[in-house]
């Protein structure tokens, strides 16, 4: 019976439009508050800025979506029944006028039968919910990863994400590329979550629920996206002044595009003779004590994002601004202007130094 | 009141148990702890003497009450001195302080919490003793005195838990 | 200990209805009286007055927060100031508004309801108040110290539950966190001693004939609340002591590098934290359980079951704490267990709602202002409970935890539930406390404005959670779909402020020239309505003897008394 109930609330895996419709209807009925602005699909179909949990685009997110529909339906029904009874009681039994002052209504103290009648159904509902919950927990937490699964290690820092690909020896930051999965070729991505300082949280709603990154503690989660695009997410556990700008970008690519990206990340950084001066300034100003650039002596710090392929990223400062020349100039000059409270200090560089370093960084594709 | 205090102590006990064996650097419990025979003797027997004092009080034997009450306080004091010497040795001889490792943190906080409660009890005992000697205890105070002796038993009971957790279980690691 | 029934005072002069602040005598005499009083009624006023003060302060912070995030990329508050503001908002509202309001109401009402002359330990009562109050003052001192006045001082900024290791010296170098832990340690002492006092009072000072099963439900719920306080506030104190030891003496409780576990802090905190919200909500249930019967003109439906449900809630609340930690990476068994316990606690809570419904059913519901707030409470608490069930389903929580959905849920409980119940209790008991009725027209306006504001603020936040907006962010980017809902929410917040102002105006003006109430303006049935309004200092001329749960009903309906049927 549970399976039947369960499958009743499962929708086809790709019907995100239908899913939204049903969810919207359920929720709107539930609260009766049609305040939700017309939720437009993102104009640019590749950037998934609207991360609606009722629009899952990944296998575990969809499992969560199914169970959430069930729970909301149950709650919705309860609300309608109890709310309806309340409304009825208020209208029917309200004090109408002076004639109602003549005598008190029948003084009923209680009724064991009625008490029993309204205790048993909730108990049954709870039993059903517990079983469904337990099953879903198992489904997500004990999922067997196939051998072809991609593996990523994500280490949370104050206020950026370190991203490592152990299988490919690739290190990057903030923008996480993962391969697309499909029915015929299932490639989930397992993510190992750790923290270098305080507790953080990783959340991209359309891909999965969130998991915390705790120091001295290893967490695992997995995603299996089946739609390409750039998924936006946030850090969800207060980690300091720039918690709000510790943004996530998960870029889901088709397998061939993904492979190409991996290959490009494995290449050593471009060595452009025109920006040798910039590289020198980079080292001379101690940038390398915090940042790593592959193959550059003196640039092997681990406190800040790996910059080897910095120019291939679309944003800087973990999403706080687009990665273009103007923003990069501001950032290198004084990062506090873009992200006040972040841990990169104002290095007191002169304009020439900034120019040189910016030119150099922009070659690191 | 006893419920509240139990709740407070429980958390420190949990912290201690949780961190048993997890310290990353020495000194470790088995290296530096010795079973506190003498201290426990002092404290547990003081529970007995306080009962004797209560007994005398009920019989109206003022002198007897004061004597047994005094012995209780002295035993409590002896316990504190014993703890003090133990800590002195741990700090200066073995180098174990609150900030050395997990063991140090949980040990000192738990045992320290207990010792502070003993100290408070000692102060209460002394106050009653002084009041009695100066002739200020009336029959209506007897219930308060009974409360204080209950508190004293409670502190002893906590010590039994601390001994088990810290010295019996903890010393295995 | 004095025998409570042995004193029979003469019929003395009754005190004129004298609202606080306007008593005859000089100002210094009045202040001296308040500072040194041990009378439970005056201490009740002190608690309540302080609670409203902190409510206003916390409310100002809420408005700051809402203004900052009404639009994306706003620059009203920077990240650090914002974090301080949200921390202070949460800490102030929970510990210094809600807790003090709870103690204030209980202090005033419980001795009257059980027919006692005062609390068991009046001086301890005064101590409890001042300790709590000083804790709050100390917390706010943080604004003055630290980096100085031009910044927001050193207000604690690690959120109201102060997650380790953000709170360690390494990541919070100033004294912000210390103000938090020390302030709360002091007020915690006040709460615990207050709890002991109320419990002893209820157990030992009930008037003749009032068995535990004849106590009014407000008193019953207060009793269970006190149990929760004395059992579950110590874990917070213990954890804070550990935090202080860690920050000042280098102890290693939560430090990952020493092998410590930040998760342990979360366990300790939430072992306190979850019962804490029940500590806040049970007295609110108590108010509803008093007001609904009187304004439906029927006794509470199923009194024994209400008591049983309350006790069950008390017990189970100790076992649900880790539902705040579903996303930390616990093993499946623990996650399932805590989801299960969370679902189970919904059952007695739901039963209470059904019982209130059963009380109203078949009655003659008078839609006076106290009842309006009760009705809103019932709908809102129903929704809050249901969103709680949604969050209790761990997989659903994996999406919704730490998002605006959670904020919506707990504000529904605390504002939509507790604050509404407090308003209801005020409109109900203000006449008893001051001798004057609160103005009905102003009260009706207050109700509608505040309710509209409440819904406008928090209903959109559920959807913000659905759309992926996390908590505690001081700003957000455009294009995430959050702009419109945030703006709605901010407008609602200002509406609530207007409603609150209306209420304060009502209180002040009614205290001076409200309609005289008399002893029993609502035709109610519990003991507090038997004495004058306001009650004389000794509460009752002669301590009453009761034979049922509704002693005044018996007096008013001698042909049909309750004790024939119970």
pLDDT value, residue A267: 87
The position carrying tokens 């759309």 is C467
- Helix (H) or strand (E) segment spanning residue A318: none
* β-pair partners for A235: A202
Transcribe A94-150 into DSSP letters. Answer: B--SGGGGSSPPP-----HHHHHHTTHHHHHHHHHHHHHHHHHHHHHHTPPPPTT-E
- Token pair recorded at residue C323: 């539902």
User: From CA A346, how far away is CA A333, in angstroms rounded?
Assistant: 7
User: For strand A219-223 and strand A189-195, is the pairing parallel, antiparallel, or unpaired?
Assistant: antiparallel
A212 strand-pairing partners:
A201
B29-39 pLDDT, tens digit per residue, is 777 777 888 88
Confidence of residue B149 (pLDDT cuts 50, 70, 90): confident
Q: What is the mean pLDDT of residues C115-135?
A: 90
Do the chains contact at A208 and C343, CB–CB below 8 Å?
A: no
Q: What is the mean pLDDT of residues A12-28?
A: 46
State the pLDDT confidence band at A32, using cuts at 50, 70 and 90.
very low
pLDDT grade for A38, boundaries at 50, 70 and 90:
very low
Q: What pLDDT is attached to residue C285?
A: 95
Instruction: Choose the closest CB to C463 out of A36, A142, A210.
Output: A36
Is the pLDDT score of C161 beyond 50?
Answer: yes
Residue in A closest to C460 by C-alpha: A35
Question: Residue A31 pLDDT > 50, yes or no?
Answer: no
The rounded distance, in Å, linking the Cα atoms of A201 and A214 is 8
Confidence of residue A15 (pLDDT cuts 50, 70, 90): very low
The three-point CA angle B88-B89-B90 to 5° equals: 95
- Is the pLDDT assigned to residue A40 strictly greater than 60? no
Q: Copy the structure tokens of residue A361.
A: 């960084």
Written as six digits, the tokens of A68 are: 């959430």
C-alpha dist (Å) from residue C216 to B25, C112, C220, C289: 58, 11, 6, 9
d(CA B31, CA B24): 14
Q: Which domains does chain B carry?
A: 2-18+34-172 (1.20.120.80)
Long-range contacts of C220-224 (CB under 8 A, 24+ apart): C220/C286, C220/C306, C220/C307, C220/C310, C221/C282, C221/C283, C221/C285, C221/C286, C221/C289, C221/C310, C222/C106, C222/C110, C222/C198, C222/C282, C222/C283, C222/C286, C223/C198, C223/C199, C224/C282, C224/C310, C224/C311, C224/C313, C224/C314
Give the model confidence (pLDDT) of C179-221 as tens digits: 888 889 999 989 999 998 999 899 988 888 888 888 999 999 9
Determine if the pTM surpasses 0.80. yes
Residue of C143 and C525 predicted with greater confidence: C525
Cα gap C322→C342, rounded to integer Å: 9
Q: What are phi and psi of A236, to 5 degrees?
A: -115, 0
A169 contact C CB<8A: no
**Inter-axis angle of helices C332-360 and C369-392, nearest 10:** 160
The pair of structure tokens assigned to A133 is 């919950």
For the stretch C326-335, pLDDT in tens is 999 888 999 9
**A316-359 tens-digit pLDDT:** 999 999 999 999 999 999 999 999 888 898 989 999 999 999 99
Give me the residues paired with residue A177 across strands.
Answer: A251
Chain mean position to CA B124: 14
Domains detected in chain A: 2-41+57-97+104-141 (1.10.287.90), 273-362 (2.60.40.420)
The pLDDT of residue C150 is: 42
Listed ranges A71-85, B10-24, B79-93; the one with the highest mean pLDDT = A71-85
The answer, for C562 touching chain B at a CB cutoff of 8 Å, is no
Do C227 and C199 form a contact (C-beta atoms < 8 A)? yes
What chain C residue is nearest to B16 in terms of C-alpha separation? C253
- Confirm if A95 and C367 have CB atoms less than 8 A apart: yes
Name which residue leads in pLDDT, A76 or C551: A76
List all residues 6 or more positions away from A149 whose beta carbon is below 8 Å from its beta carbon: A187, A188, A189, A190, A222
Q: What's residue A14's pLDDT?
A: 38
Q: Exposed e or buried b for every residue in A331-343, given b needs 16+ CB within 10 A?
A: bbbbbeebbebbb
Note the pLDDT of residue C13.
29
DSSP secondary structure of C84-120: HHHHHHHHIIIIIIIHHHHHHHHHHHHHHHTT-SS-S
Taking an 8 Å cut-off on Cβ atoms, the answer to whether A105 and C302 are in contact is no
**How is residue C175 written in tokens?**
């004294």
pLDDT for B162 equals: 85
**pLDDT over 60 (residue A41):** no
Q: Determine the 3-state secondary structure of C470 from DSSP.
A: strand
Sort out which chain C residues have CB atoms less than 8 A from B1's CB and list them.
196, 230
The answer to whether A31 and C387 have CB atoms below 8 angstroms apart is no
Partner C contacted by A340 (CB < 8 A): yes
3-state class percentages of chain A: helix first, strand second, coil last, to nearest 5: 40, 20, 40
Chains C and B touch (3+ CB pairs under 8 A): yes
Interchain CB contact of A42 with C (< 8 Å):
yes
Per residue in C311-344, pLDDT (tens digit) is: 999 999 989 999 999 999 888 999 999 999 999 9
**Whole-number Å distance between alpha carbons of B77 and B81:** 6
CB-based contact A52 C399, cutoff 8 Å? no
Contacts of B64 (CB under 8 A, 6+ apart): B53, B56
| C130 dihedral zone (left: phi>0; alpha: psi -120 to 50; beta) | alpha
Task: State the average pLDDT over residues C490-518.
Answer: 92
Task: Identify all chain A residues contacting C267, using CB atoms and an 8 Å cutoff.
Answer: none
Binary contact (B102, C260; C-beta < 8 A): yes
Least confident interval from B38-52, C59-73, C287-301, C346-360: B38-52
Q: How far apart are CA A138 and CA C246, in angstroms?
A: 38
**Distance (Å) of CA A177 to CA A4, A154, A166, A252, A335:** 37, 12, 14, 6, 25
What span, in angstroms and rounded, lies between the C-alpha atoms of C459 and A182? 37
Break chain C into its structural domains and give their ranges.
Answer: 37-560
C-alpha R_g of chain B:
18
Q: List the structure tokens of C484.
A: 């419109």
B3 close to C (CB below 8 A): yes
* Contact (CB<8Å) C327/A210: yes
ipTM for the predicted complex: 0.87
Three-class SS of residue C536? Answer: coil
Contact, A297 vs A282, CB < 8 A? no
**C81 token code pair:** 């100031």
In C38-97, the residues whose Cβ lies within 8 Å of chain A are 78-80, 83
Of A98-107, C106-115, C402-411, give the lowest mean pLDDT range: A98-107
Q: Please report the pLDDT score of residue B86 as a whole number.
A: 86
Separation of CA C49 from chain center: 14
Q: How confident is the model at residue C245 (pLDDT cuts 50, 70, 90)?
A: confident
Distance from CA of C249 to the nearest CA of B (A): 7
Residue A355, Cβ neighbours under 10 Å: how many?
16
Contacts of A14 (CB under 8 A, 6+ apart): A226
Superfamily holding C37-560: Cytochrome c oxidase-like, subunit I domain (1.20.210.10)
- Residues whose CB falls within 8 Å of the CB of residue C493, separated by 6 or more in sequence, listed in order: C62, C63, C66, C453, C457
For residue C79, the model assigns a pLDDT of 85
pLDDT of residue C18: 42
pLDDT band at C149 (very low <50, low <70, confident <90, very high): very low
How far apart are the C-alpha atoms of C477 and C492, rounded to whole Å? 22
User: Residue C107 is encoded by which pair of tokens?
Assistant: 């202090």
């Amino acid at each position: 019976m549970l399976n039947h109930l369960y499958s009743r609330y499962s929708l086809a895996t790709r019907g995100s439009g239908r899913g939204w419709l049903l969810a919207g209807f359920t929720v709107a009925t539930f609260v009766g508050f049609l305040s939700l602005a017309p939720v437009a699909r993102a104009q640019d179909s590749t950037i998934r800025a609207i991360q609606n949990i009722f629009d899952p685009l990944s296998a575990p997110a969809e499992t969560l979506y199914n169970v959430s529909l069930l729970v909301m339906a149950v709650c919705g029904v309860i609300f309608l029944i109890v709310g309806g009874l309340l409304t009825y009681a208020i209208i029917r039994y309200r004090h109408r006028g002076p004639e109602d002052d003549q005598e008190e209504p029948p003084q009923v103290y209680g009724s064991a039968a009625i008490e029993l009648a309204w205790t048993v159904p909730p108990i049954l509902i709870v039993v059903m919910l517990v079983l469904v919950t337990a099953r879903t927990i198992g489904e997500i937490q004990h999922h067997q990863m196939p051998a072809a699964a991609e593996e990523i290690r994500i280490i949370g820092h104050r206020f950026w994400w370190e991203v490592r690909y152990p299988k490919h020896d690739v290190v990057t930051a903030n923008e996480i590329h993962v391969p697309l999965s499909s029915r015929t070729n299932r490639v989930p991505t397992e993510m190992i979550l750790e923290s270098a300082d305080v507790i953080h949280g990783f959340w991209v709603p359309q891909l999965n629920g969130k998991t915390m990154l705790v120091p001295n503690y290893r967490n695992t989660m997995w995603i299996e996206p089946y739609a390409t695009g750039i998924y936006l997410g946030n850090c969800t556990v207060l980690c300091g002044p720039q918690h709000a700008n510790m943004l996530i970008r998960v870029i889901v690519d088709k397998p061939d595009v993904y492979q190409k990206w991996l290959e490009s990340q494995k290449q050593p950084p471009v060595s452009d003779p025109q920006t040798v001066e910039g590289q020198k300034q980079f080292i001379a100003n101690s940038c390398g004590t915090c940042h790593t650039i592959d193959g550059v002596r003196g640039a092997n710090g681990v406190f800040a994002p790996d910059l080897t392929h910095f120019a291939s990223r679309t944003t800087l400062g973990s999403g706080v601004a687009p990665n273009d020349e103007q923003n990069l100039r501001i950032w290198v000059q004084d990062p506090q202007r873009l992200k006040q409270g972040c841990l990169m200090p104002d290095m007191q560089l002169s304009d020439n130094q900034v120019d040189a370093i910016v030119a150099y960084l922009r070659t690191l594709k | 009141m006893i419920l509240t205090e139990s709740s407070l102590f429980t958390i420190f006990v949990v912290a201690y148990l949780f961190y048993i064996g997890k310290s990353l650097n020495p000194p470790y419990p088995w290296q530096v702890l010795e079973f506190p025979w003498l201290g426990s003797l002092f404290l547990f027997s003081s529970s007995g003497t306080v009962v004797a004092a209560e007994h005398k009080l009920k019989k109206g034997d003022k002198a007897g009450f004061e004597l047994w009450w005094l012995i209780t306080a002295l035993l409590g004091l002896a316990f504190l001195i014993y703890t003090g010497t133990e800590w002195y040795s741990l700090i200066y001889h073995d180098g174990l302080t609150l900030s050395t490792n997990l063991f140090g943190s949980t040990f000192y906080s738990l045992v320290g919490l207990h010792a502070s409660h003993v100290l408070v009890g000692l102060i209460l005992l002394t106050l009653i003793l002084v009041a009695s000697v100066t002739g200020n205890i009336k029959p209506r105070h007897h219930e308060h005195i009974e409360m204080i002796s209950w508190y004293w038993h409670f502190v002893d009971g906590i010590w039994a838990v601390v001994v088990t957790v810290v010295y019996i279980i903890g010393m295995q690691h | 200990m004095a025998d409570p029934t042995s004193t029979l005072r003469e019929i003395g002069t009754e005190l004129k209805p004298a609202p606080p602040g306007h008593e005859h005598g000089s100002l210094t005499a009045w202040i001296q009286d308040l500072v040194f009083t041990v009378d439970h009624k005056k201490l009740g006023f002190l608690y309540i007055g302080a609670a409203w003060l902190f409510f206003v302060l916390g409310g100002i912070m809420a408005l700051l927060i809402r203004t900052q995030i009404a639009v994306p990329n706003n620059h009203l508050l920077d990240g650090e100031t914002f974090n301080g503001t949200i921390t202070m908002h949460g800490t102030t509202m929970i510990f210094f508004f809600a807790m003090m309001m709870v103690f204030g109401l209980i202090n005033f009402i419980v001795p009257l309801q059980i027919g006692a002359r005062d609390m068991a330990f009046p001086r301890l009562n005064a101590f409890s108040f001042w300790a709590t109050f000083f804790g709050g003052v100390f917390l706010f001192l943080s604004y003055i110290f630290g980096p100085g006045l031009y910044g927001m001082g050193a207000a604690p900024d690690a959120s109201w539950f102060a997650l380790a290791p953000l709170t360690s010296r390494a990541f919070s170098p100033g004294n912000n966190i210390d103000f938090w832990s020390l302030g709360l340690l002091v007020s915690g002492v006040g709460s615990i001693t207050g709890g002991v006092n109320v419990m002893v009072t209820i157990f030992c000072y009930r008037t003749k004939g009032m068995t535990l099963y004849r106590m009014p439900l407000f008193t019953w719920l207060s009793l269970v609340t006190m149990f929760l306080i004395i059992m579950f506030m110590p874990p917070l104190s213990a954890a804070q002591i550990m935090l202080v030891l860690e920050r000042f003496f280098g102890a290693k409780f939560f430090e990952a590098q020493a092998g410590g576990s930040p998760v342990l802090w979360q366990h300790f905190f939430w072992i306190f934290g979850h019962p804490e919200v029940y500590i806040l909500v049970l007295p609110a249930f108590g108010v509803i359980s008093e007001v609904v019967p009187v304004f439906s003109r029927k006794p509470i439906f199923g009194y024994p079951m209400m008591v049983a449900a309350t006790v069950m809630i008390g017990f189970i609340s100790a076992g649900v704490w880790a539902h705040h930690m579903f996303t930390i990476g616990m093993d499946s068994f623990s996650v399932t267990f805590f989801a299960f316990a969370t679902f189970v606690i919904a059952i007695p809570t739901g039963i209470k709602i059904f019982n209130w419904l059963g009380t109203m059913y078949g009655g003659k519901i008078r839609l006076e202002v106290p009842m309006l707030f009760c009705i809103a409470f019932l709908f809102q608490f129903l929704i809050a409970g249901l969103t709680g069930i949604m969050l209790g389903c761990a997989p659903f929580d994996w999406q919704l935890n730490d998002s605006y959905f959670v904020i919506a849920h707990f504000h529904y409980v605390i504002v939509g539930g507790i604050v509404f119940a407090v308003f209801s209790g005020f409109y109900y008991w203000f006449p008893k406390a001051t001798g004057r009725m609160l103005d009905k027209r102003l009260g009706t306006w207050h109700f509608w404005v505040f309710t509209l504001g409440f819904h406008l603020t928090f209903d959109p936040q559920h959807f913000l959670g659905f759309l992926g907006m996390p908590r505690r962010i001081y700003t957000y980017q455009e294009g995430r779909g959050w702009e419109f809902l945030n703006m709605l929410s901010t407008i609602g917040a200002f509406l609530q402020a207007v409603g609150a102002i209306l209420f304060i105006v009502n209180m002040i003006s009614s205290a001076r020239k409200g309609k005289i109430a008399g002893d029993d303006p609502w035709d109610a049935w519990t003991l507090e309505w038997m004495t004058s309004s306001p009650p004389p200092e000794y509460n009752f001329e002669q301590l009453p003897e009761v034979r049922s749960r509704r002693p005044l009903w018996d007096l008013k309906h001698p042909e049909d008394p309750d004790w024939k049927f119970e």
